[in-house]
Amino acid sequence: MEDSNLSKRQSFLSLALGSVGVVFGDIGTSPFYAMRESLAHVRQGMPLETSVIGVTSLIVWALILIVSVKYVIFLMRADNNGEGGTLALMTIAQKFLGKASGWAFFAGILGAAFFYGDGIITPAVSVLGAIEGLKLAPSIGESLTPFIPAFATVILIILFLFQSKGTHAVAQWFGPITLIWFVALAWLGLLHIFDDKSLRILAAINPLSAVMFIMHDGMNSLVVLGAVFLAVTGAEALYADMGHFGKNPIRAAWFVVAFPCLAINYFGQGAYVIAHPEAAKDPFWMMVPHFAFWPIMILATLAAIIASQAVITGAFSVTQQAVQLGLLPRMQITRTSETQAGQIYVGQINSLLLIGVLMLVFIFKNSSALTYAYGMAITGTMLISTLLAIPVIAHLWNWRLWQAIILFVPFLFVDCVFISAQLLKIPHGAWMPLALGGAIVIIIISWTKGAHLLSERSRKDSVPLKDLLKALEYRPVHRVRGMAVFLTSDVDIAPVALTHNLKHNHILHENIIIMKVETTETPRVVEKDRLEIIPVSNEINKVIVRYGFMESPNIPKAMSMCRQKGLKFDIMSTSFFLGRRKVVAGKNPFITALQIYLFIFLMKNSTNATDFFKIPSGRVVELGTQVVI
């Protein structure tokens, strides 16, 4: 019994340590710029002490209200079988909203679009924020300053090129390194919190300090709030990664490690600026002692790389979910580890992210300019998560929808305030995630609408399976040895590849499987529910293979399960028949010409079914048809 408790305790601590690296790496780099940008936007003429205490209070209470209360206490209860994140919420919200699920679908794809914006901006702003410390490097800071964008570019290129190798070999170090980073943040804060002998900075603990600051700063405080929000960037990660580590380890890591260390660091920055007003232009790096500069510099760079890695991995995960849910075309998804489920690589997304990140570094050149875009991407994602969580919480707690709305009104108010603050920054860079998000929404809507119309048109041109089988009873065809597997989206409709094979070759195999790959509304499917076999006749069986939206289909493994369940066949004499459809643009009142051509482009560039379903290419027969939509 004691050994069991010890093992559980060690497992819990291991998960908590892992979450420190993956979940809180992003928010752990916020001290680079949150205080600096907030103080930079304070109204001219505001007394220094009032502004510093007010800004520190706003930052600390943002961490308490948004991260601790909203996410850790409430939103982490709104999950889809343990999984969090925008798309996981979307699937469960659609289920419970019924006819009103359309807005949940749109909110879900909008949230995913903002998340991709986060995936592009976070690596750029985190790495630049860390490398900018070189400006204050003892003795050589001035000579290194012009090369900061170049250094950041090299680090980012290496980071993205490394993705295809997988991070499982080094991921074990993410937690310990980030833990050391948080300890360093707390140490820096404690080192300077007593610089102001009267400890006036501790007044920031009182939320009235934040309220008084807003009253004194007037409408300008809205701009300051936009910068204060940078302190909570990364909060969405603790919700999105809930399925990897579990709720309790993440909660323990936040309350025991991340939050105390961040709060102490911000108090230290505030005290340092009160004692040294000139430090307001870059409080974090200016309060680093000379003797500790290079160790802190190395740690900061590693923390930025880990934060970037977590967001890149998150983008891969969102892509996998989107592909499985039919929101994006098929893409080649590679597992980089056989033992760790979350270790995947999506080459197309990695290339697009790298191009986007390098463009940001080239265009904006410093983290200050990037923070405008960063805040908009994160705020948008958080607002969408709050909206989608309302119907989920109502269902899970057996509440009426209006009761859940009342509960979330304070959080919606805070989100709307921060969104308003970000809107003021649109001319200064906040337009970027909005433009990117709009483009991704257009792509997703074009793909889903085009796929739906293609499916409807194919269904109209298809023959019900039972009608085909009746026709074959009256007009038998020649049978050849072996097994034929026909992949289809509807097991009750004769697959296009089957009808074409009959039409042109006038043959059927002795044994036939009509297989449908189905994506469920849950993240993963237990093995006992993976496969369903429906006998049609002695020679024909329908097979439905189910995968969760966080799993990758694998047809050869599904075929092995079929054999275990009694279907007899020789895999070496089995052929897989796939239908390849060529889409031609026509006139359709339900889709614009731009969407049709975008859908055709995406379809042409999607991963073929053979690779996506991991079918041996030597066993595949493709039969094409032309469809006008």
The CATH number linked to 169 is 1.20.1740.10
| pLDDT tens digits, 511-524 | 999 999 999 888 88
pLDDT at 506: 85
pLDDT at 338: 56
Question: Do 53 and 204 contact (CB within 8 A), yes or no?
Answer: yes
Whole-angstrom Cα distance, residue 584 to residue 597? 9
Judge whether 316 lies within some domain: yes
Whether residue 315 is found in the same domain as residue 462? no
Structure tokens at 381: 């994602």
CA 478 to chain centre: 51
pLDDT at 189: 96
Judge whether 496 lies within some domain: yes
Structure tokens at 308: 């970037």
How many residues in the chain?
A: 629
User: Of 213, 354, 295, 282, which is closest to residue 33 (Cα–Cα)?
Assistant: 282
Whole-angstrom Cα distance, residue 74 to residue 76? 6
* Angle made by CA atoms 312, 314, 315, in degrees to the nearest 5: 65
Whole-angstrom Cα distance, residue 394 to residue 252? 26
User: Of 508, 509, 496, which is closest to residue 463 (Cα–Cα)?
Assistant: 496
Which residues neighbour 140 within 8 Å (Cβ) at sequence distance 6 or greater? none
Judge whether 441 lies within some domain: no
| pLDDT tens digits, 334-366 | 877 655 555 788 999 999 999 999 999 998 888
Last residue of a domain, one of 411, 429, 447: 429
Whether residue 144 is found in the same domain as residue 283? yes
Whether residue 253 is found in the same domain as residue 370? yes
Whether residue 267 is found in the same domain as residue 374? yes
Judge whether 447 lies within some domain: no
Structure tokens at 233: 């960037």
Whether residue 174 is found in the same domain as residue 93? yes
Judge whether 366 lies within some domain: yes
Last residue of a domain, one of 429, 444, 477: 429
Whether residue 491 is found in the same domain as residue 401? no
Judge whether 444 lies within some domain: no
How many domains are contained in the chain?
A: 2
User: Of 271, 133, 277, 253, which is closest to residue 190 (Cα–Cα)?
Assistant: 271
pLDDT at 400: 86
Q: Please list the alpha-helical segments (H only) found in 397-430.
A: 401-423
Whole-angstrom Cα distance, residue 272 to residue 189? 9
Whether residue 466 is found in the same domain as residue 421? no
Whether residue 59 is found in the same domain as residue 161? yes
The residue segments making up the domain with residue 607 are 458-628
Judge whether 452 lies within some domain: no
User: What does R_g of the chain's alpha carbons equal in angstroms?
Assistant: 28
Burial 116-143 (b: 16+ CB within 10 A, else e): bbbbbbbbbbbbbbbbbbbebbeeeeee
Query: Which residues in the chain land under pLDDT 70?
Result: 1-8, 99, 167-171, 337-342
Judge whether 445 lies within some domain: no
Whether residue 416 is found in the same domain as residue 467? no
pLDDT at 6: 61
State the pTM of this model.
0.86
Whole-angstrom Cα distance, residue 412 to residue 382? 10
Whether residue 168 is found in the same domain as residue 222? yes
Whether residue 529 is found in the same domain as residue 598? yes
DSSP tag of 556: H
Whether residue 420 is found in the same domain as residue 482? no
- E strands within 393-506? 478-488
> Backbone phi, then psi, for 576, in 5-degree steps?
-105, 120
